[in-house]
Homo-oligomer: A and B are copies of this chain.
C-alpha cells in the first residue's frame, strides 16, 4: 500500500452503507472499506465503528505518514462550517451530531464536513465524466435526488447551509408529494422512492406491464431489468423521469450557461432509458447555447465518486 504524506481519508456516510477510503491527492483510492449502516444499533456504536474502520485504512502507528485530513460526506441537513449533522433522516439517532470534532479527536487529524452529493460532483469533476469541465452540474439519482454544482472549477456552496438542491427544484404542473413535505419536486418523479411509488400506482391501475411480482415490492432495480425487456411501465417511468430532469436542466443551463450535466447515483443505471427524454425537453428549452455545445453524460465513477471527490474538496480546502 503506497503511503505518502499526501494522502487523505474520506468517509461517505450513506443510509445504506458507510464507505471509507484512503485516497491520494489525485483522487486514487489506495484502500477501501464498507459496512452496512443499519447493522449498528445506536448512534454511539455507529461512530465507534466508523472510527475503527478509518483506522484500519492505514497503519496508524506510522505517525510519519499520517493522512493530512479527513473529509466526511453526509446526507440530510448538515452545518458545514460547524461540522454538525443536524439531522440525517436515514440514520436513526443522528441529531445535532458534532461529527467533525468527534472524528478529528479520535484520529488526531483535521476533519471537514460536506454534503455527500457535493463530494460526488467533485469526484466526477476531478477524474470522472466531468473531468476538465469548468462549469457543470452533477445530479445524484438515489433514494432521493441530490446535486452538486461546479462553477469556474470550484464547488459552489451558496450563501446558506445548502445549495444545488436540484431534487427540490419544482416541476410545474406536477403535484406529487415529496419526502421533504413539499409538492412537485423533481425528486417525486426521478428518485428511487418516487419512481417506485409511480410504479405502484401503475400496477394498482392494472396497466400493461411485464412486472408480475408483489406491487408493494416493486423497485428501480427490477424496473431496470424489465426496461431492457421492453416493459411499457418501466420504460414510461424512466422516460418521464428523464423529461423531468430535462425540464430542470433547461432552467439550470439557461440560468448559468453551463457546459455539462453529469447524471450519477444508482438511478444512472437507467441513463440510456432516460437520456432521450432528457435531451428532448432540454433541447426544446435551451437558449444559452446550442444543444450541440452542451453535454449530458452518465457519471463514470459510480458509488465511489464521493470518496474520490473528497480529495478535490480537501485540496480546495487547503490541506
Asked if A86 is an interface residue, CB under 8 A from chain B, the answer is: no
CA distance A284 to B170 in the complex (A): 10
Specify which chain B residues have a CB less than 8 angstroms from the CB of A185 in the assembled complex: 285
Specify which chain B residues have a CB less than 8 angstroms from the CB of A254 in the assembled complex: 165-166, 168-169
Interface size on A, residues (CB 8 A): 45
- The A172-219 residues at the B interface (CB cut-off 8 A) are 172-174, 180, 182-185
- In the complex, the count of this chain's copies comes to 2
Asked if A247 is an interface residue, CB under 8 A from chain B, the answer is: yes
Specify which chain B residues have a CB less than 8 angstroms from the CB of A156 in the assembled complex: 151, 256
CA distance A303 to B251 in the complex (A): 27
- A135-B158 CB under 8 A given contacts A172-B172, A255-B169: yes
A170/B255 in contact, CB under 8 A: no
Specify which chain B residues have a CB less than 8 angstroms from the CB of A288 in the assembled complex: 158, 160-163, 165
B166/A255 in contact, CB under 8 A: yes
Instruction: Indicate with 1 or 0, residue by residue over A229-257, a CB within 8 angstroms of chain B CB atoms.
Output: 00000000000000000011011101111
Specify which chain B residues have a CB less than 8 angstroms from the CB of A251 in the assembled complex: 169-170, 248, 251-252, 255
Asked if A293 is an interface residue, CB under 8 A from chain B, the answer is: yes
CA distance A163 to B253 in the complex (A): 8
Asked if A289 is an interface residue, CB under 8 A from chain B, the answer is: yes
Asked if A149 is an interface residue, CB under 8 A from chain B, the answer is: yes
Asked if A159 is an interface residue, CB under 8 A from chain B, the answer is: yes
Asked if A275 is an interface residue, CB under 8 A from chain B, the answer is: no
Distance to closest chain B CB from A205 (angstroms):
22
CA distance A255 to B289 in the complex (A): 20
Instruction: Indicate with 1 or 0, residue by residue over A45-76, a CB within 8 angstroms of chain B CB atoms.
Output: 00000000000000000000000000000000
B173/A159 in contact, CB under 8 A: no
Q: Can you show 26 pairs from A to B with CB atoms below 8 A apart?
A: A134-B159, A151-B151, A151-B156, A156-B256, A165-B255, A165-B288, A166-B254, A168-B254, A168-B287, A169-B251, A169-B254, A170-B172, A170-B247, A170-B250, A170-B285, A171-B172, A172-B172, A172-B174, A172-B184, A172-B247, A180-B287, A182-B285, A183-B284, A185-B285, A251-B251, A252-B255
